[in-house]
Structures are given as C-alpha cells and as structure tokens.
Amino acid sequence: MPEPQPSAAVVAARTRRLADFAGRLRMASTLASRAVLAPVYRAYTVRLRAEVLARPVPEHVALIMDGNRRWARQLGGGAGIGHRHGANKAIELLDWCSDLGIREVTLWALSLENLDRAPEEVELITEIARQTLTALSERDKVKRLEMSLRVIGRRELLPDRLREAAERGEAETQGRPGLRVTLALGYSGRDELVEAARAAIRTLVAQGVPPDGLPDALTAEQLEAHLYTRGSSDPDLIIRTSGEVRLSGFLPWQSAYSEFYFCEAYWPAFRELDFLRAIRTYQLRGRRFGR
C-alpha cells in the first residue's frame, strides 16, 4: 500500500524548519568570516577612534536604524532575528557614544507606519522594544552611564505593555546627568508638526488671541516649544543605515541644519567602525548653518 502523504500544514512546517536551519548556517558562516578578519578590523577601529577623538565630536547624533528585516532575509532567517539583533545593536551603540563623549542620542525605533504592518510582526516588534527599554535600564546600572531616557511619538497608540515600559524607563532615569537618550516609538515627523501646530494654537487662544490674529501670532519659536523634542538640541548628525538615501519623515523640523550620513550596512550589521567613519565624515565637513 502507498505511504500516506503528509498534509500541507506538515509540509509547510518542515519547509520553515529547513529554511530556518539554512539561515542559521549562513549566519554562522558570516560570523566565522568576521572572526577571521576581527583582528584587522579591531586594529583599524582603535586607530580611527583615536583620530576621531582628536577632533570635536558632535553633541547630538540621531539614527534611523533601518534594515533589520532585509538583514535577516539575506541570511535566510525570519524578521524576528533581525529585530532582536537590531535591538542589541542599539544598546551597543550607546556605549560607543558614551566612549566618544557624545552627549545626546536620538534613535528611531518604531515609526507610526510600522504599526500598520501585519499584527504578528507588530506584536513582535513592540515586545522586543519593551525588552530593550528594560535592558537599557539594566545596562545603565552596569555601565554607570547615568543615562536619562525620553520616549517621543504617539505613545497613546502603543500597546499597553510597551507604553508602561516607556513611562517606567523615563521615571527611573529622570534627571540623570549623563547621556541623554531619546527613543522615537510610534513616531511620524508630519504628525509631530501637526500636533505642535495644534498645541501652539490652543495656547494662543488660551492667551486671548482672537481667531483672526492667530496667523500673525504663531511664530517659529512657539511651534518649536510644542514639538515632541522640546528641550533637546537639534541633531548635529543624522545617520541612516541600509543604503536608503532619505529621511522618511524623521525630525523634519529639527534636521534643518543637520549633517546627513547614509551607510550601506543594514542596522544589525552596523559596526563601531562604520559609526566612527560617520563621525569622521561629519568632522571633515564645514557647517555654515545657511550663512
């Protein structure tokens, strides 16, 4: 008698397991290749770090951490692998910034548009973000960075557990004098400008400005005072990974005079060497602020 054929669900499960195993093999091969070259990269990184520290470093660096899914896909793994490695890289980055004396870092971790992805991926991303917030607090205790954390974006749209983790992280680190870290979650630059304009108009109305006087009463300073980032400096340098050459709505107001650096590496593969190259490129540019 012919053997019974496995069901479509069984075949699909086997295929997924094989694809995941193949992805892990490719990842192991990539890591092995890096291990061989590690001494060379380490020596170059040490030399480049010394070169960067010999010049003024930017006060505020912002990053668009892009390419988690593509990095994982390239290695044959699922999106979760990319997001987890990306979260670990963000924690690692804060050590690099602290070592260079950078005072402020803004990380775009979750866009408003990301919340429209498939429910299972949104759940995965938000859970990893929640774990990362907790890990940042624990890392701060170990490394003694005296880091203060702020979360910006439409936090009312975030899942409850992530929103609670954000509020807890802010409360636990409030007022610390060290590295200032801003995490953009559920963030949209257009949304920020619309919300700031609405808040500024409400303030003017509360001050007694009549409706026909609002257009002339609204100033750049009043709008800026209602941005999510109020109280922070504008970023000196904005870095985007993954080879995409656009800001995608990241800090449209604050980036007016920022320097941009676009890196080909996907975010999980971003090395300290890549970061130092971005800082060195910034240092070699002449900033004129429109003058």
Query: What's residue 122's pLDDT?
Result: 86
Range of the domain at 190: 8-283
CA distances (Å), origin 182, targets 15, 123, 147, 179? 41, 22, 10, 10
- Considering the candidates 66, 140, 234, 236, report the single residue annotated as catalytic: 66
How confident is the model at residue 39, as a pLDDT? Answer: 80
Dist. CA 282–CA 109, nearest whole Å = 23
Q: 120 by DSSP, 3-state: which?
A: helix
Distance CA 108, CA 13 (A): 34
291 within domain boundaries: no
Euclidean distance between CA atoms 4 and 1, whole angstroms:
9
66 catalytic? Reply is: yes
CATH number at residue 74: 3.40.1180.10
Domain count, the chain: 1
Residue 290 lies in a domain: no
Whether 1 maps to a domain, the answer reads no
pTM comes to 0.84
Radius of gyration of the chain measured on its C-alpha atoms = 22
Residue ranges for the chain with pLDDT beneath 70: 1-37, 137-145
What is the structure's pLDDT at 118?
86
pLDDT tens digits, one per residue of 222-235: 999 999 999 999 99
Q: Given 95, 114, 191, 274, which residue is catalytic?
A: 114
236 among known catalytic residues: no
Residue 274 in domain: yes
For residue 164, being part of any structural domain is answered with yes
Instruction: Output the pLDDT for position 260.
Output: 98
What pLDDT is attached to residue 259? 97
